[in-house]
Amino acid sequence: MTAEIIDGKYISSQIRNELSAEVASLHSKTGNRPGLAVVLVGNDPASATYVRNKGIACDEVGITSETILLPSNSNEEDVLNTIKDLNKDDRFNGILLQLPLPSGINEDSMLLTIDPNKDVDGLHPYNVGRLMQGSPIFIPCTPAGVQELLLRSGYDPSGQHVVICGRSNIVGKPLSALLSQKLKGANATVTVCHTGTKNMQDITKLADILIVAAGRPNMIDKEMLKPNTIIIDVGINRIEDNTRKSGFRLIGDVDFNSVKDIARAITPVPGGVGPMTIAMLLKNTVQSFRNMHNLPDEKLI
């Protein structure tokens, strides 16, 4: 049997449609629109593409956005001053500092400067702590997108053994906290594998749901799975491809062709988790606007 494709492009378009309606309603109630500021330091081409796509997505749903470009020779003080200005700027209720930063700029201290109430990326230590304790304000966008993909495809992680490959601060660690909470849409048994894990295939073979966020192209093949596993591939790796105009193509951390006949369902790369990350950024930005205007989400009451 060939695996079902979990279509992140389609699911994210549904979410964007829902958000467009919500933003229109908030605009008619308040006369204002949610606003997102994105800070990009340097000229990494992949980051520039992500940031451009975030701006386009904001426009589509009616969120005001502005990208602040800082040159690659910026120092920590330049970045800190930009963030401090945005913290005070009422036009923006969301701030995103695109990672990675050029070497010499400390990520942790930059993230610590973002007002936690505007931290729509959910990466400030306050928001990380809230997530760990099961009362999140902003859930980091990729973990939130993975959870939403599972739920909207009918694969509730509750009671399932979820194995996560990767322990990054952006994906692996917050995702393990998110899916192990005693909350609706979570409540999974979570195991995290990483570069220190011995005999990783002995663990990945136990997964009902396997989430791979290791940044290593094609690291998972069919020998590492039990039949009928649900696979979420978070990897976005650029590999050289001279048949493309761009000179590269994107592949995931999972060897799609190897696993497609044994997995129950899988996300493609591109078109799986990537578009969901952006949709969740928009959702957090709308949530932040609601928080600031004291307008609780009707769906949550």
Using CA atoms, how far apart are residues 140 and 216, in angstroms rounded to an integer? 21
In the complex with ligand GUN, the residue whose CB is nearer, 50 or 256, is: 50
255 phi, psi to nearest 5 deg: -75, 95
121 is catalytic: yes
Q: Which residues pair with 210 in a beta bridge?
A: 163, 231
For 239, which DSSP code?
Answer: E
233 is catalytic: no
Q: Give the per-residue contact string, 222-261, with ligand GUN (x = CB under 6 A; - = no).
A: ----------------------------------------
Smallest distance, ligand GUN to C-beta of residue 280, A: 9
For 295, which DSSP code?
Answer: -
Smallest distance, ligand GUN to C-beta of residue 16, A: 17
48 binds ligand GUN (CB under 6 A): no
Q: Which of 58, 97, 120, 225 binds ligand GUN (CB under 6 A)?
A: 97
Smallest distance, ligand GUN to C-beta of residue 225, A: 26
In 134-199, which ranges are continuous DSSP H helix?
141-152, 172-180
Q: Give the Cα-Cα-Cα angle 167, 170, 49 (nearest 5 degrees).
A: 130
In sequence order, the 6+-apart residues with CB closer than 8 A to the CB of 67 are: 37, 38, 39, 40, 51, 52, 55
| Choices 79-87, 93-101, 204-212, 283-291 (CB under 6 A): range interacting with ligand GUN | 93-101
In whole angstroms, how far apart are CA 134 and each of 39, 73, 138, 270, 298? 29, 39, 11, 31, 21
Q: Which of 74, 142, 180, 204 binds ligand GUN (CB under 6 A)?
A: 142
- In the region spanning residues 157 to 196, those forming contacts with ligand GUN, defined by CB under 6 A, are 170
For 165, which DSSP code?
Answer: E
99 binds ligand GUN (CB under 6 A): yes
| Choices 9-17, 60-68, 92-100, 262-270 (CB under 6 A): range interacting with ligand GUN | 92-100
Task: Say whether 137 sits in a helix, a strand or coil.
Answer: coil
Active site residues: 54, 98, 121
Binding site for ligand GUN (CB under 6 A): 96-99, 121, 141-142, 170, 277
